[in-house]
Structure 1
Amino acid sequence: MKLCFLSHEYPKHGLNPGGIGIFLKTLAPELVRFGNKVTVLGANNSNSYEEYWDQGVRVIRIPNPKIPVVNWWVLSRRLKKKIIEIAPDIVEGSELSFAFLSKIPGAKKVIRLHGGHHFFAEAEERKIDAWKGYQEKRSFKNADAFIAISDYVRNHTSSMLSFHGKPVVLIRNIVDTNRFYFSPKSSNPNPRSLIFLGTVCEKKGVGNLVKAIDLVRAAYPEVHLGIYGRDWEFPDGRSYKALIRNQIRGDLEKHISIHDAIPHDQVPGIYRSAEICIFPSFMETQGLVAPEAMAMGKIVIFTNKGPGPETIQHGVNGYLCDPHDVHSIVEAIEEAFESSDRKEELAGAARARVLDLFGIEKNLDENIRFYRKILHG
């Protein structure tokens, strides 16, 4: 099969990718390994054209002139022209991808539900933007099939948008369990240490996590939290990291450190250094950070919102917390610290959970079978 993925986030030097970029970086080379021809096509972060090969994947970045008001129209025309040149069997993108790509000769259009505008507007209790809402509805109408990365994102998206009677299947994200491996020899991290990795913003639960550490340090004076991720800015340009740093005063400075975002290939080393990995996000569609840490046998604290309960069974292969409740986060951290005598049991259960839900071979096979079904009925 000839597959084309539409994404502006495929990782490259100097560009910190989001979750979709990391997902494609894992899936695309595996599809090539099984004999498929794969192209990742997206807008560049500059007004220049780039084309190169990465592990057998053809990566094309079209010029992005960033013209006010009409840039979306310019990009959609350029993308469509390139797609027709590639002549794929399947074109896959996220929720907004096909708003202005309705007719692609000979190709089936698949939307993978990573969490679109309607989904996060509901989750964050904000109004639907009329323009983005229109694009998303149009894109769904133009698609031929849908892949959901969690039951939660499928069910909640369907409550707001129509799939128009087209095929919808659950296929979870792939975790590279060869890179994110469990090694007993490296399983003795810094005691009472926690790692958060992700965009440093309110909806990822960072503010409440900082408050929780302030409370935890009374019972565990050696506790330390490392925060790794890119900054988020308020509409007026203020830095969220700066806001958090202003909250870390006095003795609390010894217990929390804030770091820049790191390349994805350095993530396993950061996880390996911590006793607990914690991700108290207000909402996720699925996310990769929790299952990647679980694959390494880490004790993981995840949100109990959205797909959290699909990922972790509380007390069996990790812990869940209510990210809106600081005391719930505190309780989860203290329960995890107190489970040190169950460390090997939890590590094995976490790794097994990831292999079952997010393993490469299983999910790769499900993707390929679904693509073939869409092509051949």
Structure 2
Amino acid sequence: MHIAFLTPEYPHTQVTHAAGIGTSIKNLTTALVTEGIAVTVFIYGQKTQEIINENGISIHLIKNKKYSFLGWYFHRKYIESYCNSIIKKEKVDLLEAPDWTGITAFMKFKIPLIIRFHGSDTYFCHLEERPQKIKNFWFEKLAISAADAFIAPTTFAGEVSKQLFKIKNKTIRTIHHGLDLAQFDNKTPAQFETGLILYVGTIIRKKGVFELPAIFAAVRQKNPNAQLVLIGNDSADIQTHSSSTWNLVAALFSRDDMKNVSYLGKKPYAEVQEYIKKAHVCVFPTFAETLGMVTIEAMAMQKAVVNSNIGWSKELITDGESGFLVHPTNHQLYADKIIELLQNNSLCHQIGTQARTRIEAKFDIKNIVKENIEFYQQMINKE
């Protein structure tokens, strides 16, 4: 079996961007190779045209091209042509692509196309209750219509996407993103920096970062020595059109609270793990996810997590057992859960231990990869 992935991102030094989509794809492709599956990764929008063979994975960097007219169409046809040439040459059996931006709109392949719901613009606009550009919906709808089947990282993401795109008579299989648990092994869970609250993720409105100043203010009323550390790329704000969401968020902290806040920007993956180990509590007050990779990574490292309670998160965490689930706008309750954990190390340890147990049961890539292979085989045999 030979499986190919089309993606705008992937964790590699020669790739221009990597985030949740790229991380989940790399986890899966690495596991597929371990199971004896041939894997090709097509990464579009790159600075150079290059083929890299690494750890059994054939990585194709597809150089970005600009067109003076109908660029959205010709860019896709260019990617399609390149992929089809490799698909034919290397005898690829199935192609997987993300839903985001509807990149496969106007593309045709002679092999099955599976779209994985990493999170479309349509999906995020729906969850955030904000208007969507008609063009963006059109691209994503066309891509969805041409797909043979779908994989959703949570049942919630699959059901919402099914309703938004009016998907009928096509299979939507829920298969969680997986983790190589050996890479998320915290041997000293009882060691952490007391009072350190950690947020990891893009500094963007949909991640709930505008709720953090009020939550942190309530925490410091009971724990004045608490520290808040934020790690992640800054981004433009979609509502105010500010070039820096962080500047907007920082202005919401009181002067006194701000003395206990550190924004570290983007950090290498290995360093992020070290900060997770240092954290007393990890917080993810997000409004829009399909799953939330960093949440399950923190849980795998036996951290007590206070997460959003919206849809998908209920498939990650059992509230009060393997973490806490609170709506991001309920600032006082969100703060109360953080305070409860900061003041009770025994509870922190218990929650962290149960979080690891849940990740081992639900998100171990050794099991997840077999679910993917089974589904891929079903789709290939259908042809």
Q: Give the TM bin, normalised by the shorter chain.
A: over 0.9
Q: Bigger CA drift: 77-86 or 252-261?
A: 77-86
**SS of corresponding position for 2:77:** helix
What's the CA shift for 1:65?
Answer: 2.5
What's the CA shift for 1:141?
Answer: 1.5
Structure 1 unaligned segments of length 5 or more: list them: none
Matches of 1:339 and 1:154, distance apart in 2: 37
Identity over aligned residues, as a percent?
Answer: 28
**Structure 1 contact 140–162 (Cα < 8 Å) conserved:** no
Total equivalences in the alignment? 373
Pairwise CA RMSD of aligned residues? 1.7
Gap change, CA 1:271 and 1:135, over 3 Å in 2: same
Which residue in 1 is equivalent to 2:139? 135
Spell out the pairing of 1:101-250 with structure 2 (5 A cutoff).
101=107, 103-105=108-110, 107-183=111-187, 185=188, 187-234=190-237, 236-250=241-255
Which residue in 2 is equivalent to 1:99? 105
What's the CA shift for 1:356?
Answer: 1.3
1:35 aligns with 2:36: yes
Which residue in 1 is equivalent to 2:351? 346
Instruction: Spell out, residue by residue over 1:300-321, the C-alpha distance to the aligned partner (whole angstroms, 9 max, x if none).
Output: 1111012111111111011111
Matches of 1:173 and 1:300, distance apart in 2: 18
Gap change, CA 1:180 and 1:334, over 3 Å in 2: same
Matches of 1:226 and 1:291, distance apart in 2: 19
Matches of 1:23 and 1:314, distance apart in 2: 24
**SS of corresponding position for 2:183:** coil
Gap change, CA 1:256 and 1:326, over 3 Å in 2: same
What's the CA shift for 1:121?
Answer: 1.6
Matches of 1:333 and 1:69, distance apart in 2: 53
1:53 aligns with 2:23: no
What's the CA shift for 1:186?
Answer: 5.1
What's the CA shift for 1:126?
Answer: 1.9
| AA of the residue aligned to 1:18 | A
Which residue in 1 is equivalent to 2:71? 71
Gap change, CA 1:74 and 1:264, over 3 Å in 2: farther
Matches of 2:305 and 2:189, distance apart in 1: 17
Instruction: Spell out, residue by residue over 1:308-342, the C-alpha distance to the aligned partner (whole angstroms, 9 max, x if none).
Output: 11111111011111112221221221122233222
Q: Bigger CA drift: 120-129 or 152-161?
A: 120-129
Gap change, CA 1:45 and 1:282, over 3 Å in 2: same
Matches of 1:239 and 1:94, distance apart in 2: 27
What's the CA shift for 1:68?
Answer: 5.5
| AA of the residue aligned to 1:12 | H
Matches of 1:123 and 1:307, distance apart in 2: 11
Which residue in 1 is equivalent to 2:314? 309
Gap change, CA 1:70 and 1:12, over 3 Å in 2: farther
Identify the match of residue 337 of structure 1 among 338, 342, 345. Answer: 342
| AA of the residue aligned to 1:44 | G
**SS of corresponding position for 2:168:** coil
Gap change, CA 1:170 and 1:188, over 3 Å in 2: same
Matches of 1:109 and 1:89, distance apart in 2: 10
Instruction: Spell out, residue by residue over 1:178-230, the C-alpha distance to the aligned partner (whole angstroms, 9 max, x if none).
Output: 111131x3531100111100011222111211221122112101100100000
**Structure 1 contact 209–329 (Cα < 8 Å) conserved:** no
What's the CA shift for 1:76?
Answer: 1.4
| AA of the residue aligned to 1:64 | N
**SS of corresponding position for 1:251:** helix
Which residue in 2 is equivalent to 1:277? 282
**Structure 1 contact 146–169 (Cα < 8 Å) conserved:** yes
Structure 2 unaligned segments of length 5 or more: list them: none
What's the CA shift for 1:367?
Answer: 0.2
TM value normalised by structure 1: 0.94
Instruction: Spell out, residue by residue over 1:222-245, the C-alpha distance to the aligned partner (whole angstroms, 9 max, x if none).
Output: 100100000111354431112223
**Structure 2 contact 49–62 (Cα < 8 Å) conserved:** yes
| AA of the residue aligned to 1:257 | S
**Structure 1 contact 187–272 (Cα < 8 Å) conserved:** no
Matches of 1:226 and 1:122, distance apart in 2: 29
Matches of 1:137 and 1:226, distance apart in 2: 39
Matches of 1:191 and 1:313, distance apart in 2: 25
Matches of 1:68 and 1:175, distance apart in 2: 42
What's the CA shift for 1:173?
Answer: 0.4
**SS of corresponding position for 1:53:** strand
Matches of 1:302 and 1:100, distance apart in 2: 38
Which residue in 1 is equivalent to 2:83? 83
Q: Bigger CA drift: 26-35 or 329-338?
A: 329-338
TM value normalised by structure 2: 0.93
Gap change, CA 1:294 and 1:9, over 3 Å in 2: same
**SS of corresponding position for 1:44:** strand
